[in-house]
Copies of this chain bind each other. A is one copy, B any other.
């Protein structure tokens, strides 16, 4: 047990939102509010930008009942960012400013909720604070629908997106088969360079209403082979459904979607999209057949109404655990999830992972979980993902529409200075 450290905390959300990132926010905020070591709980507006800009919301001012609604409110309620922080050794401007804010508000705890890039930000802040001798405990809370985060069995946000994708594939499968004329349907799924989300469409196939083929970025894409797959299956069944990850690429590394790629984000990631239409056009050139391109778009990361209860529970637990780790003295860590399957089915256990083991790495679908021909996943993948999507969320409805959290968002700068 480390010595007690008293001070306030800042919590921030970063990167693309998910259905459950606010569940983690709830976990952190609730546990921090409960903790005697933590004197005040700040929520940064737009992640690290809120720290740099002194835009901090005082969570102590919120109605506790309202905070509870965060659990089923999709997207990042405090606002997110895709801001890339410099290496502290190269440019310490941002770090000096962060230190200034930390001192201003007596911040001794920093919790940051995000994916690979956010864990990199966390790691750099932790190193900088150590280098200047400012005691502050920095803990990362994992979040990404892409599930590409290293150091954890899986990542909060992934399973809810996977469940939405599987359900949407099932519904689309039923819809596309109603006419006596055949059809090829191509569903484009997010995931950047990792195929976890597209692979989750296999859950629909397991349930009897899913794609015939799934193409992942983990296997080089071959357009002729793809068209052969589609043509053969269409000849045999009269209907073909294909799930495809936005990040598929040819063997030379160029993205299949490149024809329509127009921009990159602040981290240099290419903004992908329009892939389903490109593939649909390729199918039409090969065969005289009805083809429909469907892009699940933002909905796959925002569909809180169809979240996984397991995912929600783990997202809350990851947030709470981050606070527990920090209060007991840890820093430079991320909360990871360990899978315990022993005798009684799946259990996800929280564990502490060094940030340097996580930052800037990408975890991909193991090649052995993809079939030899590279156009579907194996049972190993199903066994991996199935426990994670279990359980229906307990949504609060008003007029049968979801009731989201309504925070007051009182700015710290608007309050009189706190006595310590």
Which residues of chain A in 71-127 are interfacial with respect to chain B, using CB atoms and an 8 Å cutoff? Answer: 73-76, 79-82
CB pair B167 A402 closer than 8 Å: yes
- Of B49, B167, B294, B301, the residue contacting A298 (CB under 8 A) is B294
Expressed in whole angstroms, the minimum distance between the Cβ of A117 and any Cβ of chain B is 14
Q: How large is the interface on A (under 10, 10 to 19, 20 to 34, 35 or more residues)?
A: 35 or more
A300 to chain B, nearest CB (A): 10
Interface pair B401/A207, CB less than 8 Å apart: yes
Interface string of A194-217 (1 = CB under 8 A from B): 000000000110011100000000
User: Of B13, B178, B209, B302, which one neighbours A79 at CB under 8 angstroms?
Assistant: B178
Q: Contact between B207 and A305 (Cβ–Cβ < 8 Å)?
A: no
State whether the Cβ of A404 lies closer than 8 Å to any Cβ in chain B: yes
Contact call B392/A172, Cβ cutoff below 8 A: no
* A143-158 interface code vs B (CB 8 A; 1 in, 0 out): 0000000000000000
State how many angstroms separate the Cβ of A247 from the closest Cβ of chain B. Answer: 19
In the assembled complex, the Cα of A8 lies from the Cα of B218 at a distance in Å of 56
List residues of chain B with CB within 8 A of the CB of A81. Answer: 179-180
Q: Which of A360-378 contact B (CB under 8 A)?
A: none
Measured in the bound complex, the distance between the Cα atoms of B413 and A106 in whole Å is 82
Contact B301 A404 (CB under 8 A): no
Q: Are B303 and A73 in contact (CB under 8 A)?
A: no
Whether A301 pairs with B175 at a CB distance below 8 angstroms is yes
- Binding-face segment, A35-43, A328-336, A383-391: A383-391
B401 and A175 form a contact (CB under 8 A): no
Task: For A404, list chain B residues within 8 Å (CB).
Answer: 170, 174, 208-209
- Chain B minimum-CB-distance residue to A297: B294
Residues of chain B with a CB closer than 8 A to A80's CB:
178-179
Contact A398 B207 (CB under 8 A): yes
A223 within 8 A of B: no
- For residue A249, CB closer than 8 A to chain B, the reply is no
State whether B171 touches A303 (Cβ < 8 A): yes
Within 8 A of B (CB), among A377-417: 386, 389-392, 397-404, 406
A80 to chain B, nearest CB (A): 4
**Number of identical protomers:** 2
**Which of B203, B295, B386 is within 8 Å of A295, CB to CB?**
B295
Are the C-beta atoms of A171 and B46 separated by less than 8 Å?
no
Give which listed residue, B75, B174, B295, contacts A302 with CB less than 8 A: B174
Q: Which one of A17, A207, A304, A305 has the highest number of Cβ atoms from chain B below 10 Å of its Cβ?
A: A305
Contact of A392 among B76, B79, B397 (CB under 8 A): B397
- Proximity bits, A15-48, B CB within 8 Å = 1, else 0: 0110000000000000000000000000000100
> A306 interface residue, CB < 8 Å from B?
yes
B302 engages A171 (CB within 8 Å): yes
- Is A166 positioned at the interface, with any CB of B under 8 Å from its CB? yes
Q: Is A163 an interface residue (CB 8 A)?
A: yes
Residue among A75, A175, A302, A398 with most chain B CB within 10 A:
A175
Answer whether A302 and B400 are a contact pair too, CB < 8 Å, given A81-B180, A179-B80: no
Q: Please report the C-alpha to C-alpha distance between residue A16 and residue B176 in the assembled complex, in whole angstroms.
A: 10
Closest Cβ of chain B to A269, distance in Å, is 14
Inter-chain contact A170/B401, CB cutoff 8 Å: yes
**Can you list 26 A-B pairs, Cβ within 8 angstroms, ordered by A?**
A17-B175, A74-B174, A75-B171, A75-B174, A75-B177, A79-B178, A81-B179, A82-B179, A163-B401, A167-B402, A168-B299, A168-B303, A170-B402, A171-B302, A171-B303, A207-B398, A208-B406, A292-B298, A294-B298, A294-B299, A295-B297, A299-B299, A305-B306, A306-B306, A390-B399, A392-B400
Closest 3 CB pairs between A and B?
A75-B174, A171-B302, A80-B178
Known A82-B179, A171-B304, A294-B298; 20 more pairs at CB < 8 Å: A73-B174, A74-B174, A75-B174, A75-B175, A76-B178, A79-B177, A79-B179, A80-B179, A81-B179, A168-B299, A168-B303, A171-B299, A171-B303, A176-B298, A208-B404, A209-B404, A294-B299, A295-B297, A299-B299, A389-B399
